[in-house]
Amino acid sequence: MTLTGQRPRVAEHGRQDLPSLTGLRWFAALLVFGIHFTGMALTTPPGSTGLSGFDQAVNDLGRTGFIGVSFFFVLSGFVLTWSTPDDLASREFWRRRFAKIYPVFAVTALVAVVLQLVVTGVRPGWDVVLGHVFLLQAWTPDQAFVFGLNPVMWSLSCEAFFYLSFPALLLVLDRLSARGLRVAGALFVVATFAVPVLAGEVFTLREPAPPALVPLDGFENQFTYWFTYVFPLMRVTEFALGIVVALLVRRGAWVGPPLPVAIGLCLAAFFVNRELPPPWQRSAGMLIPFALLIAAAARADSRRAWSPLRSGPLVFLGKVSFAFYAVHVLIIMHTMGGRVQTWLADLGVISGPALPVWGALVVLVVQLAVTVFVAWLVYRFVEVPMTRLLRGARRGVPVV
């Protein structure tokens, strides 16, 4: 069985390669990196009741970095719809997706287990390990299970569900008219806004919940946090919107701003989104701007129009962004986070438990550079060769 039936005539699909979207991947990964870096609070003395001025400014700028995950979900639906051959069998599609994501996931999960044993001396439970092995960690509201090894990989558990659902979603959505697609896209956006509100009104916990491992940021309790932010069934609307946008662009039926305007709208929306209720900040507030940006970047590439996002350095960083995303928390949490101040104090570089502003900036640059280098190693020696091996692809064939 192939992924779709007979598709309408494609009007704007002459350019399969979309380097601007690859460049955008880097900015999304950088947003997620930023929110985890802010948690280090490098210039605030331990035990302080509030953040230092510098840490507060960094937190204000990076506290909504989790929107990078929402971008990846929309982008995933778009790119898979754009790039998957019409006659590709569902089984082959799933095999390709497994080959693309699982080797990096498996290696970083193994590293996470080793680091947890070496650094903390605590052995992760077998239920946590097995949940990660089978990419099921996002299906339980227990934060110890969801974030137990490599915390950010809960999103890959969602992606695995999206991949399983993709053939059916594409089969249904591809049969809609352009008007039907626009209605479906609007419904996905409304659902993304409505679910956090409804969940907060409906779900309450009758028994004390275990301590939260990550801040709940305005959610009623751990269950509503999980249900609206982590639960794959609730995040599939973002992935499905990406499919809708790709189908409209493919058919030449997309109506949206050009790339420069879409970039400006996204930047403005970023600051507006920070003022929305916390549950909306994580996906709903940026959903429409992200859809506009992704469509505009794809159209710019397909028409060979101007784009600042397809420069060589950005495309390189975009290519390693999955590996960057997979390793960055492990580097922050287990090798640098919470230890930089102690190391520098022992060396006599600083006199107290908090870093000066210049020291925090140096740590940021070093940590970012180290993470990019490690990501390149993972990309070069794990992601690319293992993807080709598992797909049976020849050397030189692009890996997407």
Q: Within 10 A of 3 (CB to CB), how many other CB atoms are there?
A: 23
Q: Give the least confident one: 63-67, 163-167, 257-261.
A: 63-67
pLDDT of residue 161: 98
pLDDT of residue 8: 46
pLDDT digits (tens, 9 = 90+) for 255-266: 999 999 999 999
Higher-pLDDT residue of 178 and 220 is 178
Q: Are 289 and 265 in contact (CB under 8 A)?
A: yes
Q: Are 161 and 232 in contact (CB under 8 A)?
A: yes
Q: Could you give the CA distance from residue 381 to residue 373 in angstroms, rounded to a whole number?
A: 12
pLDDT digits (tens, 9 = 90+) for 74-116: 999 999 999 998 888 999 999 999 999 999 999 999 999 998 8
User: Of 336, 326, 347, which Cα lies nearest the Cα of 40?
Assistant: 336
Write the burial class of residue 170 (CB in 10 Å: 0-12 exposed, 13-18 middle, 19+ buried): buried
Q: Within 10 A of 344 (CB to CB), how many other CB atoms are there?
A: 17
